[in-house]
Each structure stands twice: as C-alpha cells, then as structure tokens.
C-alpha cells in the first residue's frame, strides 16, 4: 500500500499540512469558511512536531501491527481491506479513547463533534494523494509505495 | 529603543476577511515581522522589520497578505530620492558603510533591451528546431591558431596537441556563488543541476565542501584573493580553475562574507574560525602586474598538470579591453568578465551602484580589441552580470561571448525574490543563509528540478531564435554582430557596441 513518507530534513515547520488537512476534513472544504464559520472547528489529523530546527509532520503510520485496532472494543477501528489504511468507523466508535491510549505515535485525537469519536488520518479517503502531501510547499511529505 | 528616523520600506496589508490566523506568516518570517496575539486570535505586523522578501505573501494559504513598497509622504524631490534619504538616516544612525546584496538596481541603460535580433525571410531559409538539429554545444578554452593534420588514407588525424577544453551542452554556466554566501542546499541544487544539464557550476571563493568533490567534473573552482579552502585536492578535483581578480558588483574590492554566515561547516570548508568575517583582500597580494598574474596562472597549470583550462575573472571596468588582452597574454584559457549588474552576497552599496560599466559595452570592446590583436582564439570569453533571459544569452553570444554566467536568474529559479538582504544571513528562502531553520526551506531536489527546467526552457528558446536566423549552430552566431541591430541608442553607443542602427541593411 501507499504510505506517507516523512522527509524531516525538508520540513520547514510552516504547518500548511495541518491547515490543508483541517480544510480537507471540514464540512465545507473551503479554507476561510472552515476556519471562520464552522463550529466546532474541525481538527487537523496531522501534527508538526518541533524541537529546535528539527521538525516533521506526523500523521497515522497505518501500522501493520496496529495496536489501535487490537484495543478497539467495538471494532470501529479497522483496516480498510481495499487500501490497507487504518480507519475509524464513526458509526461504531463510542469514544472510549482506548485507541488514543494505545497509539505509540500519539496521532489519534478526539474529534470536536457532537459525538465523542476518534479522529485520525484516513489518507484522505484514498482519494488520490493526501492533502498534506499535495500542499507541502517543500516536498517534505511524499506519498510512496512501501 | 527610541523610534528611528528610518521609516518602513514596505507596507503590509492583511485582509482580515481572509486571514485565518493560521500563523504561517509568523513562522516563516526570519525578521520577526508578524506576531500572533492569542488573546484576540489576531496576527499583527511590524512593518519596520519587513524586507519585502514576499515569503509570507507566497506561503499565505488564503492570499490574505500583500506587501507593497510603502508610499512616503515626503515632498517630491528629483534630487533627494527616498533611497538617498533612507541611506542618510541609516548612516547617521549607524556610522557604517551601507551593505547590500544582489546586483546594481539603478536605472543605468540596459543595452540588451536596445538590441534586436535578425530573422530569415525569403532570401535565406529559417530552420525549424523541432525538425532539424541545432547545435548548442560549446567548448571553452584556448583554440589553436592552426591545426596540423595528417592523413591516414582518407581519415584526417589531428597531430596538434589540443588545449584542454570545457565541454558545455549549452552556452550557460552557473556563476560563482560560494558555499557560505549560499546555503549547502543551494550549492547542492547547482552542482546537481549542472551535472544533469551538462554544464558547469562555479564554486565561488569559499572552498569546496567534501560532499561536492564527486561532482568535480561539473565544477569550476575559484582561487580568489582570500584563498579560502584552496589546496591541492581542491584544484585537482575540478574541471577548471578560475582566478578571481574582480567581481562586477564590487570591482576593486575583495569578497565579503559576514561572520553571521560562517557556520561550523562553512568554517571547516574555508579554514577560518567560526563566526569570523571573511573579508578577502582587495588585490591578490601576489599579483601586482600581468607578469605576476602569469606566474599564478602557470603555478596553477603546473599543479593541475596542464590538463584543465585556467580562467581569469575580472570586473568590467573602464580599461577592460587592454586588461583582458593582458590576461590572455598571461596565459588564461578563459576570460570571464562581470558587468556592473553582476550580483553579490554582500557589497558596499555605494560600490555596487557606482563602480564598473555595463557588460554589453565591455564585451563588445573586449571582443573587438582581441580580434584586432589577433588573439581572440587564444581564450574563450564568458560574460556575467544581468543575464535575465534566453534573449540576453543569444544577444551576448552575437556580441562576441562564448558563453554566459548566470547567477541571479538561477537564484530566482530557486525562489529568490531579490530583496537584497543576502548579507544579513536571514534569507527567508533558504538560499543566502546558514541558519539551520532557514536552509531547510530550500529542498535541493526542487531546486535542481527548477534549474534544470530553466536551462531546458532557455535551450529551446535559443534554438528557436537561432533557427529563425537561419543559423544551425551557436558557433556560427558567435561575434556575428550583423545579426544585431540597435534601437534608441546614440551613435557613440552603437559604435562601441559595433552594432548598426535598426533599419540599416547589410
């Protein structure tokens, strides 16, 4: 399957990946509307980790041996058979946060919606290249076959 | 700090309807212009610190920002321009020599814009470069006066030992920008692009980082008055060695590398202490005459076993033609001439803007003088300083150049926005900086791709123009001033350029 590969030596810490992820997962899909009019504001599923000049954008690694799937009590967290991506079925998610507790990368978070559900990178629904990769101005993220 | 008399140069307009307070501008500005106020969830800007590099404008995801030159309310005055006033305020506050970067930005006449190219009509056929081959291959180095040829049955065999040559796929070389003045990633973009395109890049005077030794076949190394990082391996690994006497942006003075840009890696490459200013002496202290230059040229030729050409780079100054002649007689295989619009990483503003002459005039005069003396073949002419497009390249070739150096054009391809702040070491584009936060901003893979694209595009355009003239090899255009005509120039200027006025036939 194709995965997002991180090239931290080119990450410039601008966080445009976070912005594009947020917009991609917003209701309107429009950047100004997503930031100014959508409440609660959608959350980005990618996060730039920074220490000194080292920075990189981290999102779900879609582990082969995914602890979040193992720990999910409702079976909401599952592997998409077609794409191999680890995704959360929002209908089944009850917001127990076991996935958040178990994720070794800390890339799952709480979605600020009416219901308590887990939010994580879904590779943009396998809708071509993920938004964070497309919008990185310095090619610090790339979508590669692994 | 008390309010300075220096007024902001730029006006930052933020469209609040569009600004989403994402803080990309805050994070991208090395000059700390933008700040985020968490309480109000707004971003504010300090215009005093803005250098107009356009980084924030380019990266703003909602195009909420516009950075413009700020209109001042000064009473209009043709003599006392805003720039003069700024400089006066700045110097009265600092007491220092004003530094700047990039090439001269003053409105001296740009002769390229007054030269027009010819094209074939009826009496001679033009050539379609998409259907017929057009040759851009260029060889730089001394050419023989005469070839001694033997015949092996029907095959000619050249008996003369040919002088070493640089082989270029197109008559464009990336000009001297040292590691130190530009970042590691910028340097890597250049060497990799040079290899891919089949041309050369000049190392500048800052030595050669060990990582770039494998690219020696595409590198011209420079020996300047500071002799930074010059040693046997440095000379031997390169394809050619260039002795830098002068630079178009600052004729008469040596290179400047402010200590801010001397990082540990740069210090190791240059063999100077970290953080110290690298100020090259104005002259080479072993060159006070053409004879001295000859000794250095031959010392270098000895060290590289006469296997590679030696170039001498001089700035275009008033007496450039006889100087070039002397340089060739001293043994240079290539003469590089840098005009007043040549760029720099750091130079005194007053020198950049007031010293030297335009490259077009220098080139025409040097070419003419060398022809008159019958030594034009003894060296190739490479010119630099303000080559902005493929049209400038082809006009330069027609005026007599063998190839051109491009510096600023190449930097623009890497993202440079000509803010002229190279000397501060705070280049927001990751080019002219050694700050690890900033150097990351130039991904050498993207940089290389942009440079290769630019060279590819220019090569196509040059072929189109050559084809239009009915010339199928760049060699046939070299010094062929009949392909040029002048518009809007004085008689003296046309005489110096050796170009007829537009409208005059053969």
Indicate the Cα dihedral angle A23, A29, A31, A37, nearest 10°.
-100
- Tell me, yes or no, if B437 comes closer than 8 A to chain A by beta carbon: yes
Q: Looking at the predicted structure, is the pLDDT value of residue B150 above 80?
A: yes
- Name chain B contacts of A16, Cβ cutoff 8 Å: 24, 59, 61
Tell whether B361 and B426 lie within a shared domain: yes
Tens of pLDDT, residues A92-113: 999 999 999 999 999 999 987 7
Check CB contact under 8 Å for B446 and A139. yes
Q: In CATH, what number does A1-59+125-146 get?
A: 3.30.70.20
Kindly determine whether residue B62 and residue A31, on different chains, have CB atoms separated by under 8 Å: yes
Could you state, in order of their start, the residue ranges of all structural domains in chain A?
1-59+125-146, 64-120
- Please determine, for residue B2, whether its predicted confidence score (pLDDT) is greater than 90: no
Residue B301: inside a domain: yes
Answer yes or no: do B281 and B340 share one domain: yes
Tell me: do B162 and B92 sit in the same domain.
no
Q: Are residues B72 and B179 in the same domain?
A: no
| Angle between helix B359-373 and B390-399 (nearest 10) | 30
Interchain proximity B440–A9, CB inside 8 Å: yes
Would an 8 Å CB–CB cutoff place B441 in contact with chain A?
A: yes
Taking the alpha carbons at both ends of chain B, their separation in whole angstroms is 67
Same domain, B80 and B160: no
Residue in the structure block whose two tokens are 């130079």: B347
Q: B501 touching A, CB under 8 A?
A: no
Fold of A64-120: Alpha-Beta Plaits (3.30.70)
> What are the residues facing B220 on neighbouring strands?
B202, B240
What residues of B are in contact with residue A12 (Cβ under 8 Å)?
Answer: 28, 430, 440-441
User: What is the reported pLDDT for B463?
Assistant: 97
- pLDDT value of residue B326: 98
How far is it, in rounded angstroms, from Cα B267 to Cα B279?
Answer: 13
Q: Look at residue B1 and tell me whether its pLDDT is greater than 70.
A: no
The answer to which of B63-67, B70-74, B113-117 has the lowest mean pLDDT is: B70-74
C-beta atoms of B440 and A12 within 8 A: yes
Question: Which structure tokens are listed for B228?
Answer: 């930074």
Contacts of B59 in chain A (CB under 8 A): 14, 16, 137
B323 and B396 inside one domain: yes
**Partners of residue B28 in chain A, C-beta under 8 Å:** 12, 14
| Residues B45 and B162 occupy one common structural domain | no
pLDDT tens digit sequence for B94-106: 999 999 999 999 9
Q: For residue A52, with 0-12 CB atoms within 10 Å meaning exposed, 13-18 middle and 19 or more buried, which class applies? A: exposed
B110 in a structural domain: no
Q: At B373, is the secondary structure helix, strand, or coil?
A: helix
Residue B132 inside a domain? The answer is no
Task: Let me know if residue B365 belongs to a domain.
Answer: yes
Instruction: For an interface test with B, give the residue of A38, A42, A138, A142 to mutate (most B CBs within 10 A).
Output: A138
Percent of chain B with pLDDT over 70: 100
- Of A123, A109, A139, A135, whose CA–CA distance to A3 is shortest? A123
Do the Cβ atoms of B92 and B332 come closer than 8 Å?
A: no
B446 in reach of chain A (CB within 8 A): yes
Around B388, how many Cα atoms within 13 Å sit in the side-chain half-sphere? 9
Q: What is the pLDDT of residue B462?
A: 98
Domain span at residue B436 reads 138-501
**B124 CB within 8 Å of a chain A CB:** no
Q: Which chain B residues are Cβ-neighbours of A36 within 8 angstroms?
A: 20
pLDDT digits (tens, 9 = 90+) for B366-408: 999 999 999 999 999 999 999 999 999 999 999 999 999 999 9
The answer to whether position B483 is within a domain reads: yes
Average of per-residue pLDDT values in chain B: 96
Task: Work out the burial of residue B468: count CB atoms within 10 Å of its CB; fewer than 13 is exposed, 13-18 middle, 19 or more buried.
Answer: middle
pLDDT confidence of residue B471? 95
Residue B92 shares a structural domain with residue B213: no
- Mark which of B96, B127, B149 sits at the end of a domain: B96
- DSSP per residue, B91-117: HHHH-SPPEE-SS--S----GGGGEEE
The CATH number assigned to the domain holding B298 equals 3.20.20.70
Q: Do A16 and B62 touch (CB under 8 A)?
A: no
Residue pLDDT, tens place only, B407-450: 999 999 999 999 999 999 999 999 999 999 999 999 999 999 99
Q: Are residues B171 and B287 in the same domain?
A: yes
Considering only CB atoms, A14 lies closest to which of B28, B443, B446, namely B28
With CA atoms as reference, the chain A residue closest to B438 would be A12
Regarding whether B256 and B401 lie in a shared domain, the answer is: yes
What would you report as the CA-atom Rg of chain A, rounded to the nearest whole angstrom? 15
Nearest Cα of chain B lies from the Cα of A10 at a distance, in angstroms, of 5
d(CA B65, CA B57): 5
Are B171 and B199 spatial neighbours (Cβ–Cβ below 8 Å)? no
In a domain, B116, yes or no: no
Percent of chain B with pLDDT over 90: 96
Put simply, the answer to whether A140 touches B22 (Cβ < 8 Å) is no
Q: Label each residue of B197-232 as H, E or C.
A: HCCCEECCCCCCCHHHHHHHHHEEEEECCCCCCCCH
Answer yes or no: is pLDDT of B64 > 80: yes
Q: How far is A114 from chain B (nearest CA, A)?
A: 23
Q: H or E stretch including B374?
A: none
Answer whether residue B149 is part of any domain.
Answer: yes
pLDDT band per the 50, 70, 90 thresholds, residue A83: confident
> Do the two domains A1-59+125-146 and A64-120 of this chain adopt the same fold?
yes
Chain B partners within 8 Å of A13 (Cβ): 27, 437
Provide the chain B residues 19-48 that lie in CB contact (below 8 A) with chain A: 20-24, 27-28
For A9-44, what is each residue's pLDDT tens digit? 999 999 999 999 999 999 999 999 999 999 888 899
Nearest to B59 among A9, A31, A137 (CB): A137
Same domain, B387 and B456: yes
Closest chain A CA to residue B60:
A16
Q: Which range has the worst mean pLDDT, A118-127, B199-208, B454-463? A: A118-127
Residues B342 and B204 in one domain: yes
Give CA–CA dist B163/B220, Å, rounded: 17
| B488, part of any domain | yes
Q: What is the pLDDT of residues B223-254, one digit of tens each?
A: 999 999 999 999 999 999 999 999 999 999 99
Count of structural domains within chain B: 2
């Amino acid at each position: 399957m194709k995965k997002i590969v991180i090239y931290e030596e080119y990450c410039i810490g601008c966080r445009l990946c976070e912005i594009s992820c947020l917009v991609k997962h917003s209701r309107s899909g429009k950047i100004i509307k997503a930031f100014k009019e959508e409440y609660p504001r959608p959350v980005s599923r990618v996060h730039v980790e920074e220490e000194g000049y080292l920075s990189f954008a981290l999102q779900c690694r879609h582990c082969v041996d995914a602890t979040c799937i193992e720990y999910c009590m409702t079976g909401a967290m599952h592997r998409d058979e077609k794409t191999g991506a680890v995704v959360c079925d929002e209908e089944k998610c009850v917001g127990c946060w076991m996935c958040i507790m178990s994720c070794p990368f800390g890339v799952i978070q709480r979605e600020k919606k009416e219901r308590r559900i887990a939010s994580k990178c879904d590779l943009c629904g396998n809708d071509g290249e993920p938004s964070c990769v497309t919008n990185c101005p310095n090619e610090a993220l790339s979508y590669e076959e692994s | 700090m008390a309010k300075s008399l220096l007024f902001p140069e730029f006006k930052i307009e933020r469209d609040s309807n569009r600004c989403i307070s994402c803080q990309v501008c805050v994070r991208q500005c090395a000059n700390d212009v933008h700040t985020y106020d968490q309480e109000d969830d707004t971003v504010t800007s300090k215009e005093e610190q803005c250098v107009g590099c356009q980084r924030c404008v380019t990266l703003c995801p909602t195009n909420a920002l516009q950075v413009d030159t700020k209109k001042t309310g000064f009473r209009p005055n043709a003599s006392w321009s805003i720039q003069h006033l700024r400089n006066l305020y700045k110097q009265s506050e600092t007491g220092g020599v004003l530094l700047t970067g990039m090439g001269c930005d003053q409105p001296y006449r740009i002769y390229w814009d007054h030269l027009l190219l010819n094209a074939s009509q009826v009496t001679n056929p033009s050539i379609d470069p998409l259907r017929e081959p057009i040759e851009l291959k260029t060889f730089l180095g001394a050419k023989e006066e005469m070839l001694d040829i033997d015949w092996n049955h029907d095959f000619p065999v050249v008996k003369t030992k040919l002088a070493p040559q640089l082989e270029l796929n197109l008559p464009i070389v990336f000009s001297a920008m040292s590691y130190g003045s530009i970042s590691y990633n910028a340097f890597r973009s250049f060497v990799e692009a040079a290899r891919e395109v089949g041309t050369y890049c000049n190392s500048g005077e800052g030595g050669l980082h060990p990582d770039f030794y494998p690219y020696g076949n595409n590198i011209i190394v420079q020996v300047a008055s500071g002799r930074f990082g010059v040693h046997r391996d440095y000379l031997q690994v390169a394809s050619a060695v260039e002795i830098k006497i002068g630079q178009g942006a600052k004729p008469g003075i040596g290179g400047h590398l402010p200590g801010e840009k001397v990082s540990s890696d740069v210090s190791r490459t240059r063999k100077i202490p970290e953080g110290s200013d690298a100020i090259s002496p104005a002259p080479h202290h072993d060159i006070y005459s053409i004879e001295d230059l000859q000794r250095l040229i031959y010392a270098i030729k000895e060290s590289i076993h006469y296997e590679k050409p030696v170039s001498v780079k001089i700035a275009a100054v008033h007496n450039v033609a006889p100087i070039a002649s002397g340089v060739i007689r001293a043994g240079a295989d290539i003469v590089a001439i840098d005009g007043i619009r040549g760029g720099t990483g750091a130079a005194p503003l007053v020198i950049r803007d007031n010293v030297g002459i335009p490259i077009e005039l220098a080139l025409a005069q040097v070419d003419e003088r060398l022809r008159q003396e019958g030594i034009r073949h003894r060296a190739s002419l490479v010119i630099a300083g303000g080559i902005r497009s493929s049209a400038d390249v082809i006009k330069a070739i027609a005026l007599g150049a063998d190839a051109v150096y491009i510096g600023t054009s190449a930097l623009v391809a890497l993202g440079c926005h000509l803010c002229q702040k190279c000397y501060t070491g705070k280049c927001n584009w990751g080019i002219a900086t050694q700050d690890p936060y900033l150097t990351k901003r130039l991904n050498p893979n993207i940089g290389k791709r942009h440079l290769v694209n630019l060279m590819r595009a220019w090569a196509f355009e040059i072929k189109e123009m050559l084809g239009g003239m009915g010339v199928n090899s760049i060699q046939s255009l070299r010094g062929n001033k009949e392909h040029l005509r002048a518009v809007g120039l004085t008689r003296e200027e046309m005489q110096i350029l050796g170009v007829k006025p537009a409208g005059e036939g053969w």
